[in-house]
Amino acid sequence: MSRRPYVREVPRTTWFFKHPRYMRYMAREVTCIFIGIYTVILLVGLARLSEGPAQYEGFLEALRQPGSVLFHLLALAFSLYNTFTWFNVAPKALPVQVGDEHWPDSVVSGGHYVVWVGLSLFIRFWAGVL
């Protein structure tokens, strides 16, 4: 009797269709495309700000294009998904043990959400939006 193990190759470009949890993972990973493009938009805004009022006004004008509004809506959805996935797994990377017990994951995650809501409200308030 001879051994002849059969190897099943994982398809490199389509493996994530195999299971919903892989699709959720890829959805999380592609948030970087939207957050990355958004960061570049912020960088361009900073550049225009440094160039003077007229240039900065031009940047705000460009922001008001329909394509920009659409991008913002999409990017916001992906960004929120990134936030939720990040907070939900935060207790795995940073578990908190006090005495003989670990804090429940829900407490660590919940703490992140509370800080997030507070910080977001603060930044809105700071920006003059109520």
Q: Which residues ranging from 72 to 91 are in contact with other proteins (CB under 8 A)?
A: 72-73, 75-76, 79-80, 82-83, 86-87, 89, 91
Among 33, 96, 107, 114, binds other proteins (CB under 8 A): 33
Among 41, 103, 110, 111, binds other proteins (CB under 8 A): 41
Q: How many chain residues interact with other proteins (CB under 8 A)? A: 78
35 Cβ contact partners less than 8 Å away, ≥ 6 residues apart: 75, 78, 79, 82
How far is it, in rounded angstroms, from Cα 38 to Cα 32? 10
Contact between 90 and 108 under an 8 Å Cβ cutoff? The reply is: yes
Among 57, 58, 104, 106, binds other proteins (CB under 8 A): 57
CA 105 centroid distance within chain: 20
Q: What is the largest CA-CA distance in the chain?
A: 82
Among 23, 47, 107, 114, binds other proteins (CB under 8 A): 47
Q: How many other CB atoms are found less than 10 A from the CB of residue 31?
A: 19
Among 23, 36, 104, 114, binds other proteins (CB under 8 A): 36
Considering only residues 100-119, where is the footprint of other proteins by CB under 8 A? 100-102, 112, 115-116, 119
Contact between 75 and 34 under an 8 Å Cβ cutoff? The reply is: yes
Using the minimum distance from each CB to other proteins, give the nearer residue, 38 or 110: 38
Least distance CB 68 / other proteins (angstroms)? 5
